Amino acid sequence: MPNWIRKSLVVFVSILTFGLVSPSPATFFNNNNDNDKKPIDEREMPFARESVEEEAVLTDSTEEYFTREAFISKMMKEAEEQSYLKFGPKIKPVIEDEFRLVVLPNMEKAINEVTSIFPEEELSYLTVTEIPSSGTSERIFHITREYEDIIRFHVRRDRPPQEGYYFNFHYHTYHDQFQTHYTLGEIYWNKNTPPKWMS
């Protein structure tokens, strides 16, 4: 078989499988004709080496994600991002430090506790919703499993008489059909009405 046909077939298979599977060189370079046999030089097939390296990187990152520590770390990063998105540029600078000190550690405890019933191999099915609600509604983000909510993180505006406004951070779980408020912490705003979320 001519060299250009062999190389074309290797390129075609690599493109067809999006580079995740590279064809074995033996498949295209070994045949019964002794005249065509020659040593395979990997320098002639750089695309095959790249796809094997890509596959190794994908495997490593997938295995790392399944550990509980990596899962919690990923959830906390997304929790912080979604919370800051919810606060918006007017509220975030005022409460960011206190939120990081008071609320985030309690969020981590809650995520650890609620997801502890899931084995590590099922943690990859848990995801964070990506769009917090704006205006005056409570939702920051939810952790879901295939469209089923597992835990809901919310923030409510409270105004005790003559005290001003507080942000009450809390969560609900699927264990009791999201009925109970589990407090994560409160942050004082001031006596003026806070801006709308995401404004």
**For residue range 95-126, what is the model confidence (pLDDT) as tens digits?**
999 999 999 999 999 999 999 999 999 999 99
Assess whether pLDDT exceeds 80 at residue 83: yes
The confidence score (pLDDT) of residue 12 equals 63
Q: Residue 117: helix, strand or coil by DSSP?
A: coil
Assess whether pLDDT exceeds 50 at residue 73: yes
Among residues of the chain, what percentage have pLDDT more than 70? Answer: 67
The confidence score (pLDDT) of residue 61 equals 44
pTM of the model: 0.67
Mean pLDDT along residues 162-172: 95
> What secondary structure letter does DSSP report for 189?
-
Q: Given pLDDT bands bounded at 50, 70 and 90, which one contains residue 62? A: very low
Rounded distance between C-alpha atoms, residue 10 and residue 48, angstroms = 8
Q: How far is CA 25 from each of CA 3, 17, 42, 113, rounded to the nearest angstrom?
A: 12, 16, 9, 50
The confidence score (pLDDT) of residue 9 equals 66
Alpha helices in 66-164 (DSSP H): 68-98, 104-115
Assess whether pLDDT exceeds 50 at residue 1: yes
The confidence score (pLDDT) of residue 108 equals 97
Q: How far is CA 109 from each of CA 38, 91, 158, rounded to the nearest angstrom?
A: 61, 24, 24
Of residues 52, 82, 54, the one with CA closest to residue 143: 82
Rounded distance between C-alpha atoms, residue 157 and residue 137, angstroms = 9
Q: What angle do CA 69, 75, 80 make, to 5 degrees?
A: 125
The confidence score (pLDDT) of residue 59 equals 42
Instruction: Pick 129 or 6 by higher pLDDT.
Output: 129
Assess whether pLDDT exceeds 80 at residue 10: no
Q: How far is CA 117 from each of CA 23, 149, 159, 194, rounded to the nearest angstrom?
A: 41, 15, 36, 38
Q: Residues with Cβ < 8 Å from 130, sequence gap 6 or more?
A: 82, 141
| Mean pLDDT, the chain, integer | 81
Q: Residues with Cβ < 8 Å from 75, sequence gap 6 or more?
A: 111, 115, 126, 128, 143
Q: Given pLDDT bands bounded at 50, 70 and 90, which one contains residue 130? A: confident
Assess whether pLDDT exceeds 50 at residue 169: yes
Assess whether pLDDT exceeds 80 at residue 197: yes
Q: Given pLDDT bands bounded at 50, 70 and 90, which one contains residue 146? A: confident
